[in-house]
A = this chain, B = another copy of it.
Amino acid sequence: MSPTEFVSVYRAVRAQSLELTAHLSLEDMALQSMPDASPTKWHLAHTTWFFEVVALKKWHADYEGFNIAYAYLFNSYYEALGDRQPRPLRGILSRPALMDVLAYRERVDNALQDWLQKVSPSDWIQAQPLLVLGLHHEQQHQELIVTDMLHLLAQNPLLPTWSPPSIRRAQQSSVPLSSAPLAWLEHAGGVQMVGTNEQAGVFAFDNECPNHPVWIEPFAIANRLVNCGEYLTFMEDGGYERPEFWLSEGWARVQQDDWHAPLYWVSASDKRLDFCTETSQAQQGLASDWSVYGVHGLQTLQAHEAVTHLSFYEASAYAAWAGARLPTEFEWEVLAQAQQGAASSDSLQDLYGVAWQWTRSSYDPYPHFKPMTGEVAEYNGKFMVGQLVLRGSSAFTPLEPFAHTRATYRNFFPPAARWQCTGLRLAKDKSTL
């Protein structure tokens, strides 16, 4: 990619972040609903700070920092880059105002483009990987803007309708794939290559590298995600009252936090339904016992849609109830790789674009794993404990300019996390079919 080509992609990514905020108010963008989530305003500033740190401050001789405090306010978790605003307190920052953050974005955008017009070839060679990383980083935060904002709005008793224009109605695909009959796709296992390597032109995060062999036992994997109707059956069969399906920590969480349905399911007796305007209720025709809250508001539960916003614990309990299990991350990956050339008749559905799929694999480093170096050394590696791998991508995952949908992509969250767009796909040992 030449500097000029980069600028074009850069502009697209940066604009996409702002487009996401089209229907949001200053107030929406300033608030933080929980320590794990961040305000939209913070995301917009943090992604900007990233470019400032990895490029401008190093290579742009004349670059003058926008504000000395921003390095403190918008550093996320990079110990090597200095102190920072504590994560749980990102939501007490009414200043800088959004307008200031937008001005900061503009200053950095302009400075970066100025510099790229005159960058030396040798600097460009060094800078390019970091700048491309910055774009992938910003796309990751675009998904977080959606999930964090959805979580904030879901805490509001008014259950407001957001309807971000750039996010399709996640659960209303024209072809509701999760209603297809459940089928099992088999794989013979053996030594398989997984992961990827850094190559010119193909981006990958350090945690996906390197490409390496693993041994996989013969297995089968479901052709589609578990859907809401199936999950409702699990619930009606006492899923949340029967400890035999649950991991010990998951069961403790069910008790402690009184979980009895996926995060955004709203029961017909929920008092918040009184606060929705009559019009929207009529439109939604809340005939069912359950409705589901999402970025497009409250909708009657649709049995054929993929169940989402589940913790690993719930995914695992469902699988145990269903007499199956979750796939390992490598089972998922080798079948996803195999599907790339497969005929559509037996293909895996919903691999990407519906819901991140919990796997039964802890987020451990690959053999020969090497973290990135320099300012971005802390990007992925230091989180490799206590989390589970998710594969695929979700309805909130950006598709352009870089599709975050590749078979080797490793997403990861703690087992109790529910605010991401997470679902599950079943797997089985081949011998138990």
Contact = CB atoms under 8 A, between A and B. Distances in A.
A98 interface: yes
A429 B370 CA distance: 11
Contacts of A415: 385-386
Given A191-B215, A368-B431, A94 B384 contact: no
A94 B27 contact: yes
A402 interface: no
Nearest to A31: B94
A115 interface: no
A28 interface: yes
Interface string A410-427: 000001000000000000
Nearest to A368: B429
Contact of A28 (B77, B94, B217): B94
Contact of A91 (B31, B73, B274, B386): B31
A207 to B, nearest CB: 13
A216 to B, nearest CB: 8
Interface in A86-144: 89, 91-98
Given A25-B97, A27-B26, A247 B91 contact: no
Contacts of A233: none
Given A69-B157, A158-B96, A385 B388 contact: yes
Contacts of A158: 69, 73, 95-96
Contacts of A385: 247, 249-250, 312-313, 316, 362, 388, 415
Interface stretch (A12-20, A148-156, A171-179): A148-156
For the complex formed by this chain, how many copies does it contain in all?
4
Contacts of A68: 274-275
A29 to B, nearest CB: 8
Contacts of A155: 89, 92
Nearest to A243: B79
Nearest to A92: B155
A382 to B, nearest CB: 4
A123 to B, nearest CB: 26
Given A68-B274, A275-B72, A215 B217 contact: no
Contacts of A363: 362
Given A246-B382, A248-B77, A249-B385, A156 B31 contact: no
B360 A69 contact: no
A262 interface: no
| Most chain B CB within a 10 A radius of its CB, from A31, A313, A385 | A385
Contacts of A73: 157-158
Nearest to A365: B360
A79 B244 contact: yes
A251 interface: yes
A364 interface: yes
Contacts of A368: 217, 429, 431
A38 to B, nearest CB: 14
Contact of A156 (B94, B214, B367, B377): B94
20 contacts: A25-B26, A26-B30, A27-B97, A30-B31, A30-B94, A33-B92, A72-B275, A79-B243, A92-B155, A94-B156, A95-B158, A191-B191, A214-B214, A215-B215, A247-B382, A249-B386, A251-B382, A360-B365, A362-B385, A368-B431
Which 3 pairs of residues, A with B, have the shortest CB-CB distance? A362-B362, A79-B243, A69-B275
